Amino acid sequence: MSAGLPEINAALLQKRIDELALITEAPPPAVTRVLFSDADLRGRDYVAGLCRSAGLSLRVDAVGNMFARWAGSAPEIPAVATGSHTDAIPNAGKYDGVVGVLGGLAAIEALQEAGFQPMRSIELVVFTAEEPTRFGIGCLGSRMLAGAIALEKIRGLRDADNTTLEALRGRAGLDEALESVALPEGFYSAFVELHIEQGPILEKEHIPIGVVQAIAGPSAYRVRITGEGGHAGAVLMPWRHDASLAAAELALAVEKAALASGSPDTGATTGKWEIFPNAINSVPCEALLEIDLRDTCLETRERALTLMRSASDEIAARRGVKVVWDEINADPPADGDAKTMAMAEDVAGKLDLATMRMVSRAYHDSLFMARVCPTTMIFIPCRHGFSHRPEEFSDPAHIAAGARVLAGTLARLSHEP
């Protein structure tokens, strides 16, 4: 073990990433595993099987978060946790989330094989629904673990087919009370998540390890625009109240507001559009938009939102349409824990791996785990920064290096008093 740190079985880790990628609703190389879909459930089973073979004890909570624990010599004190997610948005890649789950397992197995004996137990967490695809809200599982969402809001969640979370989790055989999900105070002593950067910086700088000092705070809004429909020929242009054109103007205003926020970290996307009746010869009477707005700074995020809302009011008045905004979620940013960041940097240094401190503009389960315990993330490069697309790629050597730094960090944290 050079630098006293175990080697990762990089080939086995890559093989598992490739195997999990074939459990998908979409034709490979795309990966799609939406919460509680057949692929999502099979993906969870695949990971659970690997965890059992590694001798970890498994627990699944009422909303599907999965916990695989390696008992330490002091099982009664708070454990150290790592993990990420295996769900994937439509037409995604095979590394987002998966690197943190399978890389976390590989780190535990490497420590086991090296004869390491943890004092604090080490627990791998597979968070349910990090992606917002099913219900429009991200980090559902980690949000609930942190007690960061009201249970009546959870019970009110419905997907596009009007299916409730309750019905879906019941079908997945999860019938414990939702009240049992939130973790008790002090349940974990620290959390470290391994993840691809989902941006181009590490690759550009030729740096193999990023240590995340801040995670952008996400917010999401559902906007319903109601105009007047009618015949595409008979309704003359000056008489129209076309909901889709109001939506188009609003989407451009969303982009303009993000660019005018005063912060380079403001990101705004109108990623979901539905037009009704969506017929070529009918003036659209309704438009439903979902807007994703995020920033590392709450103040500039709020500034962008204020600009969007005033543009929305102006468009509604000028076009004679009704615009209703519903907030889906609005979460504060999170900071990386200084001690845990320094520990990960020290481990990387012992492995002669250069590091850089980073901001994550993608959100992660770490955003909510930071409310539960000291948290940081370890980033690895991904090619051209591509993510949330089938071309997503991370070099097996980078994945193994990230898992090795994670193994060393978990080992240190497990012996922290």
Chain positions contacting ligand HGY, by CB under 6 A = 130-131, 138, 362-363
Residue 31 or 362: the one with the smaller Cβ distance to ligand HGY is: 362
**Contacted by 83, from ligand HGY, Mn ion, none: CB < 5 to 8 Å by type:** none
- Euclidean distance between the first and final Cα of the chain, in Å? 24
Residue 140 or 410: the one with the smaller Cβ distance to ligand HGY is: 140
Residue 24 or 121: the one with the smaller Cβ distance to ligand HGY is: 24
Residue 197 or 337: the one with the smaller Cβ distance to ligand HGY is: 197
Q: How far is the CB of 47 from ligand HGY (least distance, A)?
A: 18
Cis-peptide, bond into residue 184, ω within 30° of zero:
no
Size of the site for Mn ion (CB under 5 A): 2
Helix intervals (H) in 162-283: 165-171, 201-205, 243-259
Residue sitting closest to ligand HGY (CB): 362
Longest dimension (CA), the chain: 79
Facing residues of 268 across strands? Answer: 293
Over the window 47 to 86, marking each residue x when it contacts Mn ion by CB under 5 A and - when it does not, the resulting string is: ----------------------------------------
Q: How far is the CB of 87 from ligand HGY (least distance, A)?
A: 9
Rounded Cα gap, residues 13 and 16, in angstroms: 5
Question: Cα angle vertex 16, ends 11, 17, to 5°?
Answer: 95
Residue 138 or 210: the one with the smaller Cβ distance to ligand HGY is: 138
Contact status, residue 188 vs residue 78, Cβ threshold 8 Å? yes
Evaluated on CA atoms 25, 30, 34, 39, the torsion sign reads positive
Residue 129 or 287: the one with the smaller Cβ distance to ligand HGY is: 129
Contact status, residue 414 vs residue 72, Cβ threshold 8 Å? yes
Q: How far is the CB of 257 from ligand HGY (least distance, A)?
A: 19
Rounded Cα gap, residues 19 and 375, in angstroms: 29
Residue 131 or 290: the one with the smaller Cβ distance to ligand HGY is: 131
**Contacted by 374, from ligand HGY, Mn ion, none: CB < 5 to 8 Å by type:** none
Q: Which two tokens stand for residue 290?
A: 């979902």
Q: How far is the CB of 363 from ligand HGY (least distance, A)?
A: 4
The DSSP-derived string for 381-399 is: --GGG--SSTT----HHHH
Rounded Cα gap, residues 27 and 22, in angstroms: 9
Evaluated on CA atoms 20, 26, 30, 33, the torsion sign reads negative
Question: Residue 144's closest CA among 127, 119, 168?
Answer: 127
Q: How far is the CB of 366 from Mn ion (least distance, A)?
A: 10
Residue 221 or 363: the one with the smaller Cβ distance to ligand HGY is: 363
β strands within 216-341, DSSP E: 217-226, 267-276, 286-295, 322-330, 334-335
Q: How far is the CB of 98 from Mn ion (least distance, A)?
A: 9
Q: How far is the CB of 187 from Mn ion (least distance, A)?
A: 22
Neighbours of 18 (CB within 10 A): 11
Helix (H, G, I), strand (E, B), or coil: what is residue 103?
A: helix
Residue 129 or 253: the one with the smaller Cβ distance to Mn ion is: 129
Q: In the window 82-111, what residues touch Mn ion (CB under 5 A)?
A: 96-97
Asked whether position 295 contacts Mn ion by CB under 5 A, the answer is no
Rounded Cα gap, residues 351 and 365, in angstroms: 27
Query: What is the binding site for Mn ion (CB under 5 A)?
Result: 96-97
